[in-house]
Structure 1
Amino acid sequence: MKKLIVLCFVALASVAFKPAEPGYKVGDTATDFKLKNVNGKMVSLANYKSAKGFLVVFTCNHCPYAKAYETRIMELDKMYASKGYPVIAISPNDPVAEPADSFENMQKRATEKHYSFPYLIDETQDVTRAYGAKATPHVYLLQKTASGNVVKYVGAIDDDTQGTNASRTNYVQNAVNALLAGKQPEVTSTKAIGCTIKWKKSA
C-alpha cells in the first residue's frame, strides 16, 4: 500500500511540475510589442486605435512556404484591414543564420511586392518566443477586448501549402468572418506548416 501511495505521489508530482509549453494558446491575452518596420519606424498594436483585432503573421523572405503564401497574406490584409483586422507581419529569423532575411532584404521585398501592411523585424526574437511561433508562416488571430488582445485562432492560413487547391479550407478567413459576425471560430487551432524558425546561436 505504501508503495502504491508513493507511486501515486510521484505521478502527481510529475504532472504538477511538468513545464508548460511556451507560446500563446487560444484564450490567452497577448502582450503588446514594439518592433521596427521596414520604413524604419517602430510599430506596436497600440498604434491601431480603431482596430477590432489583428492578424499577426510570422513570415520571412527566404522560405518557400512563406513565398507560396505571400500573395494570400497580402489578400488577407486587403480583405480585412478595412474591416478592423489588419495584417501585422513579423520576420522572426536571425539574419546571420539566414542572410536572405536581413532587414535590408526585408525592405527590398516589401517595396517590390508593395506590401500594404507593416513588415517588422524581431531582432531579439523575444516576440517570436512569447508567441511560440514555430514556422513561417504562422498566424495568430487576435481580438481586441476590454481586457486586451485575446488569441482566437493559432495556426495555418489554410490547408493548401501549394496554392493549387481551389476548394481549400481557409482557416484564417473563416475565423475572422466568425468574429465579424459576432461568433466564435469553429476551428481555433491548426498546425502551421512551413520552414522552422532560424534562432540565434547562444553565446
Structure 2
Amino acid sequence: MKVLSLLIFFFSSLFVGETTVSTGYQPGDKATDFKLKGVDGKMVSMSDYKDAKGFIVVFTCNTCPFAVKYENRINDLAKKYKKQGYVLLAINPNDPAVQPDDTYELMQAKAKDKKFAFPYLVDEGQKIYPQYGATKTPHVFLLDKNLVVHYIGAIDDNVDDASAVKEKYLENAIAALDKGEAPSPAVTKAIGCSIKAKKKS
C-alpha cells in the first residue's frame, strides 16, 4: 500500500510540475522559438532573423526600477551587437491586470520615448517567460543561432551605476560564444523585480 501511495504521489507531482511549475532552460538546452507581438503591431519570431549569429532575449518591463535603470544599457547593447550579428529581443512578461503601467499602449509609449533600437514584445497570456524560467525583470538569456542557451542571468554586476560595472556578464558570455568557448559564469543571479502574474484560483 505504501508503495502504491508513493507511486501515485510521484506521478501526480510530475503532472503538477508540468502544468504549474517550470524550472525553465539551463545552459545547453535548446529554446523553443516564439511568435510575439511587438509595439509596432508586427509579430516577431527568432526564425525571422535567418542570418543572426545569436539572440539576446531580455525579459524586462516598463515599471520595475531595476529594468528602468537598465533601459539605456539594453539599448546600447542592441546597437552594439546588431553590428556583430546578434539580435536583441526584449519581452515584457508582466500581466497588465496586475501591473497597470505595463499595458501594450504604455509599452508603445515607452519604446517611442526611449527610442528603443530593438523589438519590444508582449508576452500575451504569459506563456513564454515560464518556458524560459525567467523570474525577474530584467532577466537575460543568450542563445546561439541554433537557439541553444549559453548564458542566463544578469547583464552586469552593478544595477545602480553603469560606469562602475566591473563584470560585464552578458558581454563576456558573447565574447566566449564568439570564440567557441563556454561562458564562465554561464549562470548568474538575475537582480530585479518579480514578474507580475495573476494568482491562480
TM-score range, shorter chain: 0.7 to 0.9
Counterpart of 2:53? 52
Cα distance in 1 for partners of 2:64, 2:129 equals 16
Measured after TM superposition, the shift of residue 201 of structure 1 is: 3.4
Cα distance in 1 for partners of 2:84, 2:193 equals 30
**Alignment coverage as a number of residue pairs:** 188
Asked if structure 2 preserves the Cα contact closer than 8 Å seen for 1:53 and 1:142, the reply is yes
Measured after TM superposition, the shift of residue 181 of structure 1 is: 2.4
Asked if structure 2 preserves the Cα contact closer than 8 Å seen for 1:77 and 1:116, the reply is yes
Cα distance in 1 for partners of 2:71, 2:188 equals 19
Asked if structure 1 preserves the Cα contact closer than 8 Å seen for 2:22 and 2:130, the reply is no
| TM-score, normalised relative to structure 1 | 0.87
Counterpart of 2:127? 126
Cα distance in 1 for partners of 2:104, 2:145 equals 29
Question: Are residues 1:103 and 2:104 paired?
Answer: yes
Cα distance in 1 for partners of 2:184, 2:178 equals 13
Counterpart of 1:189? 187
After TM superposition, the structure 1 = structure 2 runs for residues 1-203 of structure 1, keeping only pairs within 5 Å, are 22-145=23-146, 149-163=147-161, 166-202=164-200
Cα distance in 1 for partners of 2:75, 2:102 equals 18
**1:106-154 Cα deviation digits (max 9, x unpaired):** 0000001111100000011100111111000000000123xxx100000
Measured after TM superposition, the shift of residue 157 of structure 1 is: 0.4
- Structure 1 stretch 18-27 or stretch 102-111: which is displaced more? 18-27
Structure 1 segments, 4+ long, off by >6 Å, are none
- Structure 1 stretch 164-173 or stretch 57-66: which is displaced more? 164-173
Higher gyration radius (CA): 1
Tell me the C-alpha RMSD between the 2 structures: 1.9
Unmatched tracts of structure 1, length 5 or more: 1-5
Secondary structure of the 2:145 match is: strand
Secondary structure of the 2:27 match is: coil
Alpha-carbon spacing, 1:190–1:118, altered in 2? closer, same or farther (3 Å): same
Unmatched tracts of structure 2, length 5 or more: none
**1:18-48 Cα deviation digits (max 9, x unpaired):** 8585211111000000000000000000001
Q: Percent identity?
A: 52
- Structure 1 stretch 85-94 or stretch 177-186: which is displaced more? 177-186
Asked if structure 2 preserves the Cα contact closer than 8 Å seen for 1:69 and 1:163, the reply is no
